[in-house]
Chain A
Amino acid sequence: GAGVSQTPSNKVTEKGKYVELRCDPISGHTALYWYRQSLGQGPEFLIYFQGTGAADDSGLPNDRFFAVRPEGSVSTLKIQRTERGDSAVYLCASSLRVGGTDTQYFGPGTRLTVL
């Protein structure tokens, strides 16, 4: 079946603007994760969902970041008042269940550049 998809693949925006990044998980996966990867680093956790609810948002850097998953499938990561430091690759992953014992499958990422 289809893997995790993310749109857009690239997003260039200006400082202060609002952006939305979309993730389509693998069908039937109840767990969905957002990570952020800066150049030369490993991905860092932002937030994860079990079904529609955010089970853990402890990785979100501040209140400019917000994510939703209203129907338990597609998720949108929203960033308000973007800053140059938000530039990174935003990765989405899904797994069959939450709990750390299932393989997480990653999408291709959205490269966000804030000018």
Chain B
Amino acid sequence: GIQVEQSPPDLILQEGANSTLRCNFSDSVNNLQWFHQNPWGQLINLFYIPSGTKQNGRLSATTVATERYSLLYISSSQTTDSGVYFCAVPNYGGSQGNLIFGKGTKLSVKP
């Protein structure tokens, strides 16, 4: 099946700093989602981004499908951004529906 790798595994930032999280995937996909898992365990949808660039406030994401990677940008980080960020793609390129998750990037934003 498809492999999803995220980097870095851990990231510590000072409040106000910017960061880039990366997601590589091993096969063509027709969907990619970024999630934020907050300290209470809730998975919050950030972006549905099979290709191109999207922005939502201080967050933006870019997926380059032909090169099989996606980037999540966090600008002017805040302590509430802390948590684990996951990217996920559909199994078998989308025909199966279930998502394959990376292991996540654990972000800690210090005040």
Contacts and interface: CB of A to CB of B under 8 A. Distances in A.
A100 B95 contact: yes
A48 B97 contact: yes
A8 interface: no
A46 to B, nearest CB: 9
Interface stretch (B14-22, B40-48, B75-83): B40-48
A28 B86 CA distance: 26
Interface string A13-40: 0000000000000000001010100001
Contact of A106 (B31, B42, B98): B42
Contact of B103 (A42, A104, A109): A42
A55 B41 contact: no
Given A100-B30, A101-B30, A104-B33, A33 B97 contact: yes
Contacts of A109: 41-42
B97 A42 contact: no
B71 to A, nearest CB: 18
B95 to A, nearest CB: 7
A33 B98 contact: yes
A106 B37 CA distance: 10
Report the interface size class on chain B: 20 to 34
Nearest to B101: A42
Contacts of A106: 35, 42-43, 45
Given A42-B102, A89-B41, A100-B30, A55 B48 contact: no
Contacts of B99: 33, 35, 43, 45, 93, 100, 104
A58 B60 CA distance: 34
A105 B102 CA distance: 17
A98 interface: yes
Given A104-B33, A106-B42, A108-B41, A99 B103 contact: no
Can you list the 7 inter-chain pairs with the closest CB atoms, starting with the nearest? A100-B90, A42-B101, A100-B94, A106-B43, A45-B98, A98-B97, A103-B48
Interface of B: 29-31, 33, 35, 40-43, 45, 48, 50, 86, 88, 90-91, 93-104
